A and B are shown apart, each in its own frame.
Chain A
Amino acid sequence: MSEVAEQKQSKKLKKAEFIPQKPTDVKELQKHLELFGYLNPNDAAFGAEQNRPPQPEEAALESLKTSFVEPGKMDEATVTALKKYQEFHGLDVTGKLDKETLAELDQKRCGMPDLAEFSTHGNKWSTNSLTYGFDNYTTDNGLTQSKIHEAIAQAFAMWAAETPLSFRRINNSASADIRIKFVSGTHGDGSAFDGQGGVLAHAYYPPPNSGSLAGDAHFDGDESWTINIPTGNGKVDLVTVAAHEFGHSLGLRHSNVNGSLMFPTYPGPKRYLHADDIAGIRTIYGGYAIENASWIHGTSIQVEFPERLDRITRAGFYTYLYGKANTTNWFHFALPTPVIKDQKRLKVVCAILRFRTFSAKAVVNHVHIYDGYTKIAAHNNLNLSGDNWFKKFGVAHKPSVHWGMGISIGVSFSSGTLNERRMDFVSAGCDLIN
């Protein structure tokens, strides 16, 4: 081997055996893991170690540490995310940036030099306050107008929670930015539907595009639409498909990231955004400027049906509880919410929950958001279990807050061991804008 070749080989090996030590290198790794959906970027919002809230019951809270991301530090959350990445890519699960993992990451980087896998159309709305309206409705599977309104608002709320955009329903659909309708076969836009199966829906990119059709979303009337989970054989989840279509209405194309909402394949019900979807939509519209963020500890939770719990314990700033098998329960947070700042009424972007369940035997199905006694958003049939350390639940129309925020959480506990029916509520909060 020539000297030059040896040097190259040595350099290659050095790179291949590279273990990140410098904070900037670890940050780079964390950036990769974020973009590929293995690390929740929002976890970093919980703060650096010195800014963490005190943990009075250190032993009990030990496992919660995996939720913290220290930017630039090879911490537990980063190692856990790296292990998930390795598992997904069929590598040895070491939690270390070994030669094989680095090669896999490098391969990804070569393909996508800017690291993004979403794709944008190029057009965008010139206003952040969008309206939508219904030309008609479907009555599939017992759907009513009010149920459809709630489902569509839930789909819009996913995008509202990450952007400056708001979506307000108006009665006169003809003057709405985004017109929604259920139609079969040819329906006047030159893109006929093909009957049951095949194309489920389609949506037009933002203006200037196709004149008045820009942004509109059409749902194939020959499909069997539902909002129930499980959907049942041959039925399609309206919320999931609507959220996907609205991604197009806002200017996103299909994503390459399997697991993202904008991935072309219908995954079955999926009622939340992937990190790639968030990165994509923020590329077009940016984020929102928080005016106030109100938080409350998990110990302040109110239980609707205490008799349906086997046990409930308040530990430090969080609450852990065990639901009785085959029960449902509701848990409530009342957030101390400022409503006026600088003589302006604040508006709500989203509610945020930090919680975990210990198995799929304890599942968060519903998150309802209130301003005083008025329900302003409903996220239904979510099927969330496991670690959810910074889960946002948007409010599509971002209304002004009048009386203060409340969050109600519907949880189902099925049969399993006591520990499988455990759930921790760590904190609840909301983002407010001006």
Chain B
Amino acid sequence: MKLFQFSLLLIAIGSSCTSHKKVSESANDIDINMIMQQTRIENQIGVLDFIKDIGKFAISFHQENTIDSQYTCIVPEASMIPAELKPGAKVIFTGLLSKDPSLPPPRIGGEQVFLLARLESIRLFINN
């Protein structure tokens, strides 16, 4: 249910974005995304990867029904990720997302970048 609620929140944010000309995917812009200064997500399914350019882990997840809209959550410290989780692993995680001026700008079309300010839980997602 919480996962569903968060999906709704993201859809709402996405919808807001799509009705506002000045919305930008740049993490540094002051725009509607700043409303989401800090947002807690629960039991979100995503994919873990490692961005070599910045030397950070990232967990990304997709906005439903889109071609390529995705949220990239930068993990500030590698130690936050359990050693058994490797890049490419599908994970389920709970934590706090926030905007941060130090975040890299989006690299790919449809990407929005957030900082995973707090990671409360993360484990391998097994789809039964």
Which positions in A face B, CB cutoff 8 Å? Answer: 111-114, 116-117, 119, 121, 185-186, 188, 190-195, 198-205, 209-211, 213, 241, 244-245, 247-249, 252-254, 256, 264-266
The smallest C-beta distance from A302 to any residue of chain B, in angstroms, reads: 40
Which positions in B face A, CB cutoff 8 Å? Answer: 14, 18-21, 23-25, 46-53, 58, 60-63, 65-70, 72, 87-88, 90, 106-111
Contact check, A253 vs B109: say whether CB atoms are below 8 A apart. yes
- The one of A111, A190, A266 in contact with B51, judged by C-beta atoms closer than 8 angstroms, is A190
Query: How many Cβ-Cβ contacts under 8 Å join chain A to chain B?
Result: 117
Contact check, B90 vs A190: say whether CB atoms are below 8 A apart. no
Across-interface contacts of B49 in A (CB, < 8 A): 186, 190-192
Contact check, B47 vs A194: say whether CB atoms are below 8 A apart. yes
User: Across the two chains, which residue of chain B brings its CB closest to A115?
Assistant: B21
Contact check, A204 vs B88: say whether CB atoms are below 8 A apart. no
Contact check, B110 vs A256: say whether CB atoms are below 8 A apart. no
User: Across the two chains, which residue of chain A brings its CB closest to B46?
Assistant: A194
User: Across the two chains, which residue of chain B brings its CB closest to A203?
Assistant: B109
Across-interface contacts of A254 in B (CB, < 8 A): 18, 69, 109-110
Taken together as a complex, chains A and B put the C-alpha atoms of A209 and B110 apart, in Å, by 15
The smallest C-beta distance from A238 to any residue of chain B, in angstroms, reads: 12
Contact check, B47 vs A204: say whether CB atoms are below 8 A apart. no
Contact check, A256 vs B21: say whether CB atoms are below 8 A apart. yes
Across-interface contacts of B50 in A (CB, < 8 A): 190
The smallest C-beta distance from B89 to any residue of chain A, in angstroms, reads: 9
Across-interface contacts of A200 in B (CB, < 8 A): 67-68
Across-interface contacts of A112 in B (CB, < 8 A): 21
User: Across the two chains, which residue of chain B brings its CB closest to A199?
Assistant: B62
Contact check, B48 vs A192: say whether CB atoms are below 8 A apart. yes
Pick 20 A–B contacts, CB within 8 A, sort by A. A113-B21, A117-B21, A186-B87, A186-B88, A190-B49, A192-B87, A193-B47, A194-B60, A195-B90, A204-B109, A213-B107, A241-B67, A247-B109, A248-B108, A253-B109, A254-B18, A256-B19, A256-B21, A264-B66, A264-B110
User: Across the two chains, which residue of chain B brings its CB closest to A198?
Assistant: B62
Taken together as a complex, chains A and B put the C-alpha atoms of A201 and B66 apart, in Å, by 10
Across-interface contacts of B72 in A (CB, < 8 A): 191
The smallest C-beta distance from B53 to any residue of chain A, in angstroms, reads: 7
Contact check, A190 vs B53: say whether CB atoms are below 8 A apart. yes
Contact check, B65 vs A266: say whether CB atoms are below 8 A apart. yes
Known: A190-B58, A192-B88, A194-B90. Is A264-B69 also a contact (CB below 8 A)? yes
Which 5 A-B residue pairings sit nearest by Cβ, starting from the closest? Answer: A248-B109, A190-B51, A186-B88, A264-B66, A192-B49
The smallest C-beta distance from B21 to any residue of chain A, in angstroms, reads: 5
Contact check, A194 vs B62: say whether CB atoms are below 8 A apart. yes
Taken together as a complex, chains A and B put the C-alpha atoms of A201 and B109 apart, in Å, by 10
Contact check, A111 vs B87: say whether CB atoms are below 8 A apart. no
- Residue from B49, B50, B107 with most neighbouring chain A CB atoms (10 Å): B107
Taken together as a complex, chains A and B put the C-alpha atoms of A204 and B87 apart, in Å, by 20
Taken together as a complex, chains A and B put the C-alpha atoms of A57 and B51 apart, in Å, by 67
Contact check, B52 vs A199: say whether CB atoms are below 8 A apart. no
- Known contacts A191-B60, A191-B70, A245-B67; 14 additional CB pairs below 8 A are A111-B19, A119-B21, A119-B23, A186-B47, A186-B87, A190-B52, A198-B62, A211-B53, A245-B68, A248-B109, A256-B18, A256-B21, A264-B14, A266-B65
The smallest C-beta distance from B38 to any residue of chain A, in angstroms, reads: 24
Across-interface contacts of B47 in A (CB, < 8 A): 185-186, 192-194
